[in-house]
Amino acid sequence: MRWVSRLKQRARALKIELHAFWLAFRHPRTPWYAKALLVLLLAYAANPFDLIPDFIPLLGMLDDLVIISLGLALAVRLIPDDVVAECRKQAREADAAGGLWGFLKK
């Protein structure tokens, strides 16, 4: 059952990171090109057409994982460090207060 608790921790960390990206996207000091990259990554993730079709075992989902992971890593590098730190702090505070998904209502 240890793997279940680790999975829950990773899911919570992912929710916090997604909230931090949302906050960074809305932050006035985030450069326009970082915002554009985040929009492109979202469009790629939501797009039903893939570079490698998903029905091909392993490779079909691996391309999504690699492209989105590399894109998010690049977005973090394009956003100023203090903005990223501030947004992650705000996301952790929202998670601690129990209102992590409240940002969707704004």
Residues 26-64: tens digit of each pLDDT: 999 999 999 999 999 988 888 877 777 767 777 777 777
What DSSP letter does each residue of 45-100 carry, written as one string?
HH-S--SS-TTSTTHHHHHHHHHHHHHHHHHHHHS-HHHHHHHHHHHHHHHHHT-G
Residues 62-102: tens digit of each pLDDT: 777 888 889 999 999 999 999 999 999 999 998 888 765 55
Q: CA of 79: how far to CAs of 3, 6, 10, 57, 67, in Å? A: 33, 29, 23, 35, 18
What is the average per-residue pLDDT within 10-16? 86
Instruction: State the Cα–Cα distance between residues 89 and 84, nearest whole angstrom.
Output: 9
Phi (first) and psi of residue 29, to 5 degrees: -90, 0
- Taking the model in full, what pTM does it have? 0.77
Q: For position 104, what pLDDT does the model report?
A: 53
Inter-helix orientation angle 2-26/32-46, to 10°: 130
* pLDDT of residue 5 exceeding 80: yes
Q: For position 70, what pLDDT does the model report?
A: 93
